[in-house]
């Protein structure tokens, strides 16, 4: 007992003396007291942080419209989920966003139909054009830069953190909007940091341009903000608990 107290005391003395050596001068000079970060009440499993904009809370699709003609969406709302209704088209958020934090939950069908890109395919387009791929990538071979968590056809995810078909999965994304110079050329690219089910899969990945299916992506100057687009790829993929924090 006495021995452990002595060890503890000598540890404190050593820590204090090493601090004294490294902090000559006034420690107050490096303290920042103002401004003070805003207070945000964190969310829980089913709720958003207090400063988030909720795009889908399980009840209605009023924050969304058809991409094609801005008409009311025809996707299905069942339980707390919004599900792709095949052939009704992509939907887009009514609000536009630039740099942001996005939380979104998605689920591919529990009954596996199809393979490769034909299995549980959807996608989340930031600013209407940079696609973070949604796909059933649980034991489903496809091109790596087209699997779940890829920046579609540009960058594969660092790892495959997919859950089984029919299980809810999460994406938490920090997105930095691209910037353009006055002449329309690129100043800084779009950047993605993505956690898939809590696992880091994109780490500050710089997009090569807007998503294209064929050919090489390139940047075309656009507004500082754009809508989120969710893709109708013909598979009944579901979404829930969608919220955004503007950065």
Query: Can you give the binding site for Mg ion, defined by CB under 5 A?
Result: 121, 123, 231
From 86, 85, 87, 95, select the one nearest 65 (Cα to Cα).
95
Distance separating alpha carbons of residues 171 and 193, to the nearest angstrom:
10
**Of 57 and 88, which CB lies nearer to Mg ion in the complex structure?**
88
**Smallest gap, in angstroms, from Cβ of residue 78 to Mg ion?**
22
- Alpha helix segments (H runs only) across the chain: 2-22
Give least dist CB 233 to Mg ion, A. 5
Point out the residue whose Cβ comes nearest to Mg ion.
123
DSSP SS3 for 116: helix
Give the nearer residue to Mg ion in terms of CB position, either 119 or 191: 119
* Minimum distance of Mg ion from residue 211's CB (angstroms): 9
For Mg ion, the closer of residues 121 and 147 by Cβ is 121
Residue 28, token pair as written in the block: 């107050």
Residue 97 in contact with residue 224, Cβ under 8 Å? Answer: no
- Decide whether 98 or 118 has the Cβ nearer to Mg ion: 118
CB distance 14 to 7 below 8 Å: no
Rounded to the nearest whole angstrom, what is the least distance from the CB of residue 204 to Mg ion in the complex?
A: 22
CB of 235 to Mg ion, least distance (A): 9
Cβ-based nearer residue to Mg ion, 99 or 231: 231
Q: Measured between alpha carbons, how far is residue 219 from residues 8, 33, 62, 209 in Å?
A: 60, 41, 31, 4
């Amino acid at each position: 007992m006495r021995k452990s107290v002595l060890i503890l005391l000598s540890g404190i003395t050593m820590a204090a003396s090493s601090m004294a050596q490294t902090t000559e001068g006034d420690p107050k000079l490096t303290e920042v007291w103002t401004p003070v970060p805003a207070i945000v009440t964190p969310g829980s499993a089913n709720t958003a942080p207090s400063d988030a904009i909720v795009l889908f809370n399980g009840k209605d699709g009023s924050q969304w419209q058809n991409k094609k003609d801005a008409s009311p969406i025809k996707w299905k709302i069942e339980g707390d989920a919004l599900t792709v209704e095949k052939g009704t088209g992509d939907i887009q958020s009514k609000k536009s966003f630039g740099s942001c934090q996005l939380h979104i939950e998605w689920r591919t069908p529990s009954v596996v139909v199809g393979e490769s890109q034909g299995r549980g395919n959807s996608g989340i387009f930031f600013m209407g054009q940079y696609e973070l791929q949604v796909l059933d990538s649980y034991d489903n071979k496809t091109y790596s830069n087209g699997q779940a968590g890829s920046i579609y056809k540009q960058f594969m995810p660092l790892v495959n953190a997919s859950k089984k078909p029919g299980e809810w999965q999460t994406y938490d994304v920090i997105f930095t909007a691209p910037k353009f110079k006055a002449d329309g050329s690129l100043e800084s690219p779009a950047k993605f940091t993505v956690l898939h089910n809590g696992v880091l899969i994109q780490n500050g990945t710089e997009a090569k341009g807007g998503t294209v299916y064929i050919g090489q992506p390139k940047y075309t100057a656009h507004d500082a903000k754009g809508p989120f687009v969710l893709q109708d790829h013909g598979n009944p993929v579901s979404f829930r608990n969608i919220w955004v924090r503007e950065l």
